Chains A and B, each alone.
Chain A
Amino acid sequence: MSAPLDDAVDDAVDDAVDDAVDDAVDEALVRGLVPGVIGVLVRRGADFAAAEDAVQDALLEALRTWPADPPRDPRGWLVTVAWRRFLDATRADAARRRREDRVDEEPEPGPVPAADDTLQLYFLCAHPSLTPSSAVALTLRAVGGLTTRQIARAYLVPEATMAQRISRAKRTVAGVRLDRPGDVGTVLRVLYLVFNEGYSGDVDLVAEAIRLTRQLAAAVDDPEVAGLLALMLLHSARRAARTAPDGRLVPLAEQDRSRWDTAAITEGVAVLQAALARDRLGEYQAQAAIAALHADARSAEETDWVQVVEWYDELLRLTGSPVVRLNRAVAVGEADGPRAGLAELAGLDPTLPRYTAAAAHLHERDNDLATAARLYAQAAREATDTAERDHLVRQAARLNTLFRA
């Protein structure tokens, strides 16, 4: 078959899968099974890359056939089909005989409890040897159980590009053994990226990040994991209110707070409080605490800005990040007045992202409207997304219209 024809067939299959997914299968349930099934194959002696490929094949078949013919034991079905795919792939390719030999030579890894399998996969997919974009892609496929096509669409790249990114990532971690605990911090950074930097494709990456963080929180006892989960819940609770029907960005102060998701806020606050009670503060808990203070205020005016500034102090102590310093300056502007905020800003690097926008906002609050208008226009030129650019252009236009009147 020629390559374009292969692609056409793949597309047809993928379309069928997409339709099937729309139809009947509880996709989140199927995806939740994926890391455990990879773990079973690895414990049976498959290497991670081959196991992951086999499970992806089984997943595609599940999404295709389950709507018409649902299995009684979905996990057992996936294990059986994936193992068969693994054996087929291993036998089919003569060049892979070396791997079979290696599997025979290597001692069988000892029995590992199933809950740890998932955790080990998180560590592997966020391994420090991977670039952030590779770690994100591999995590979404092996831990999240997304198809390559879904991941490609979510990040607006061709499917072939995403497939290459994933197979390179798998080669990069090929030598990593799945039997040692990794660094939870690297996993959290990857999940945070999934949450914060996705596009809006047919997969809701925000919901996916929350699902994966929730699953991680169940597998590992770490207040920072809970902190990140709380942070995600509290920020996603405002999602519906942060965009107007015409797509424009609505700043926090102007959001219709009745549109915030109170169930997500309640859960986020509870998760955060339990984490804070452990008395092992970290950056995600501190960030979540700030989000919780915003969630707690019935209006922007009622926000406890003094406490917000105190949490920024903690966050700054934990991270030393200039971006935190900038956000803290804005909070100081609310707590102690715009002059105080501008004084904080004066010590910062003006090339920081959103520095100019923050300066414009503080100058406007200080009633220096000409400076604010000029800075809003400059900030619009520095924006890195169109929603923010358009928002800042509108701010500049609003002030400039005032001058003309």
Chain B
Amino acid sequence: MAKYLLLKHYRGAPAAVNDVPMDRWTPEEVDAHIRYMTDFADRLRGTGEFVAEAALAPDGLWIRSDGEGRPPVTDGPFAETKDLIAGWMIIDVDGRERAIELAGELSAAPGKGGEPIHEWLEVRPLYGEPPLVTE
């Protein structure tokens, strides 16, 4: 019983095996990819392991406080930000092995030529609650 965040990157992850930008796929290949992602989430709903997911738009801003009484400073969007997250999914699974297994499946979503993309996904454990018994 542990929660994990699966992170998909637009940029910043090591190169995928089937590394062709999505706009160079056929429309059918795009459909197949999206269907795979939807089916994956539905399957996790069915196994009782799904918590939440979201896709993120690439346009973002950097914001920081500029001191009391002043509006926050904004910067960006930066077209060349090295690390750009495309989306995330939170799963609730029995352990690390299962999280790795599921991330592996998600990474095999079909891309160009209907072949699995084999893209790199980042898997991050969420902090849990402190156990009562530690001694």
A239 to B93, CA, bound (A): 27
- Point out which of B92, B93, B132 has the most chain A C-beta atoms below 10 A from its C-beta: B132
Q: Name, among B50, B51, B133, the residue most crowded by chain A CB atoms within 10 Å (CB to CB).
A: B133
Per the bound structure, the CA–CA distance linking A195 and B131 in Å amounts to 9
Residue of A nearest to B44 (CB): A161
As a 0/1 sequence over residues 199 to 235 of chain A, the CB contacts with chain B under 8 angstroms (1 = contact) are 1100000100000000000000000000000010001
Complex contact B135–A290 (CB within 8 A): yes
Is the beta-carbon distance between A239 and B132 smaller than 8 angstroms? Answer: yes
Task: Give the CA-CA distance A206 to B134 in the complex, in Å.
Answer: 15
B1 and A155 within 8 A (CB)? yes
B131 touches A168 (CB 8 A): no
> Are B130 and A249 interface neighbours, CB within 8 A?
yes
A388 touches B130 (CB 8 A): yes
Contact indicator per residue, chain A 81-105, by CB within 8 Å of chain B (1) or not (0): 0000000000000000000000000
Instruction: Report Cα–Cα, A358/B105, bound state, in Å.
Output: 37
Tell whether A294 is near chain B: CB-to-CB under 8 Å: yes
- Say whether A374 faces chain B, with CB atoms less than 8 Å apart: no
Residue pairs across A and B with CB atoms within 8 Å: the count is 86
* Residue B45 at the chain A interface, CB threshold 8 Å: yes
B window 72-99: CB within 8 A of A: 92-94
Chain A interface bracket (under 10, 10 to 19, 20 to 34, 35 or more): 35 or more
Q: Establish whether residues B1 and A197, one from each chain, have CB atoms under 8 Å apart when the complex forms.
A: yes
Contacts of A236 in B (CB 8 A): 132
Q: B128 at interface (Cβ–Cβ under 8 A)?
A: yes
Q: Mark A125-138, 1 if CB is under 8 A from B, else 0.
A: 00000011110110
Whether A387 pairs with B130 at a CB distance below 8 angstroms is yes
B51 & A252 in contact (Cβ 8 Å cutoff):
no
Confirm or deny: A269 has a beta carbon within 8 angstroms of a beta carbon on chain B. no
A134 to B134, CA, bound (A): 24
Complex contact B48–A164 (CB within 8 A)? yes
Closest to B49 in A: A161
How far does the Cβ of A232 sit from chain B's closest Cβ, in whole Å? 9
- B125: chain A residues at CB < 8 Å are 384
CB within 8 Å of A: which residues of B? 1, 3, 45-52, 92-94, 125, 127-135
**List of 6 A-B pairs having minimum Cβ-Cβ separation, nearest first:** A165-B48, A164-B48, A387-B130, A385-B130, A133-B1, A386-B127
Q: How distant is the Cα of A384 from the Cα of B2 in the complex, in angstroms?
A: 10
User: Across the interface, which residues of A come within 8 angstroms of B92, CB to CB?
Assistant: 133, 155-157, 161
Docked complex Cα distance between A294 and B46 (Å): 45
Known: A161-B92, A384-B127, A386-B127. A168 touches B48 (CB 8 A): yes
Cβ of A291 under 8 Å from chain B: yes
Bound together, the chains give a CA A327 to CA B3 distance in angstroms of 26
The complex places the Cα of A290 from the Cα of B130 at a distance, in Å, of: 20
Shortest distance between the CB of A268 and any CB in chain B (Å): 13
Residues of A within 8 A of B128 (CB): 197, 199, 384-385
> With A and B bound together, what is the CA distance between A386 and B130 in angstroms?
8
Smallest Cβ-Cβ distance to B128: which chain A residue: A385
Kindly list chain A residues whose C-beta atoms are within 8 Å of the C-beta of B1. Answer: 132-133, 136, 155, 193, 197
A97 to chain B, nearest CB (A): 25
Contact B50 A158 (CB under 8 A): yes
Q: How far is the CB of B99 from chain A (nearest CB, A)?
A: 13
